């Protein structure tokens, strides 16, 4: 690759996006020798701001509380993430797959009550993904998955009513950001079935033509 390529995975908690990050990485690595180095990363990070976010996610229960604090911390974590990992990897010609990025804040903090315009302004100067894969799943199904695996209780944003509103805002993003190349992928079915849809979206995407 002459330059790096950046794919972000989005979706409500329990949608299965994290699983699909690694499945896509494995498939791409085995598909072409171009992909000698694939960076799989996620947000929140384990950096200075990411650690604070993780503590708040586990300690707070009201999903609508602390909206401004969360927005500022997510943006600070994202900028640190870009400076230390994502941008250097892209400059080195690597493929970057990220589990959540700026569109998470567009959806989550909008659901918390912050105006989209302000969220966008806060992200001025942040690197934008070349492709966004939005794994879509009904809130009830996603919540059911979370309830089965979270034996210690759900995190701050893992509340059914909040997740339903969050999903609706996620699904608005392709129209709100038509230039961001957001592809909505049906997250229902087996992991293998969803992986096939993810591969198809990557192959069919015009922006992906330069790396496949």
Predicted local confidence at residue 1, as pLDDT: 45
Compute CA distances 9 → 12, 87, 115, 153, whole Å.
Answer: 10, 17, 23, 24
Predicted local confidence at residue 30, as pLDDT: 85
Give how many domains the chain has, as a whole number: 1
Task: State the CATH number of the domain containing residue 180.
Answer: 3.40.50.300
Beta-carbon neighbour count of residue 125 at 10 Å? 6
Pairing of strands 182-186, 131-136: parallel
Per-residue pLDDT of the chain (212 residues; tens, 9 = 90+): 457 899 999 999 999 999 999 999 999 888 877 667 899 999 999 999 999 999 999 888 899 999 999 999 999 999 999 999 999 999 998 899 999 999 999 999 999 999 999 999 999 999 999 999 999 999 999 999 998 887 555 788 999 999 999 999 999 999 999 999 999 999 999 999 999 999 999 988 765 555 55
Predicted local confidence at residue 88, as pLDDT: 95
pTM given for the model: 0.94
**CA gap 84, 90 in Å, rounded:** 11
90 contact partners, CB below 8 Å, separation of at least 6:
3, 4, 5, 6, 96, 127
Instruction: Residue 65: give the domain boundaries.
Output: 5-210
Tokens of 170: 């996620």
Q: Is 96 helix (H, G, I), strand (E, B) or coil?
A: strand
Side-chain half-sphere CA neighbours of 135 within 13 A: 31
Compute CA distances 101 → 36, 62, 96, 148, 189, whole Å.
Answer: 23, 22, 12, 26, 25
């Amino acid at each position: 690759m002459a330059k790096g390529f950046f794919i972000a995975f989005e979706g409500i908690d329990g949608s299965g996006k994290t699983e699909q990050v690694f499945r896509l990485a494995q498939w791409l690595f085995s598909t072409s020798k171009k992909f000698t180095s694939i960076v799989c990363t996620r947000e929140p990070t384990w950096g200075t701001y990411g650690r604070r976010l993780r503590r708040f996610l586990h300690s707070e229960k009201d999903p609508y509380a602390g909206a401004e604090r969360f927005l500022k911390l997510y943006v600070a974590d994202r900028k640190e993430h870009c400076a230390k990992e994502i941008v250097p990897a892209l400059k080195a010609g690597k493929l970057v797959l990220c589990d959540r990025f700026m569109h998470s804040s567009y959806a989550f903090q909008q659901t918390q009550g912050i105006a989209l315009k302000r969220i966008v302004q806060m992200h001025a100067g942040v690197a934008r993904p070349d492709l966004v894969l939005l794994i879509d799943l009904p809130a009830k199904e996603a919540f059911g998955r979370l309830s089965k695996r979270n034996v210690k209780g759900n995190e701050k944003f893992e509340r059914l009513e909040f997740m339903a509103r969050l999903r609706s805002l996620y699904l608005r993003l392709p129209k709100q950001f038509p230039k961001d190349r957001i592809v909505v992928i049906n997250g229902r079915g087996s992991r293998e079935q969803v992986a096939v849809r993810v591969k198809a979206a990557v192959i069919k995407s015009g922006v992906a033509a330069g790396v496949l």
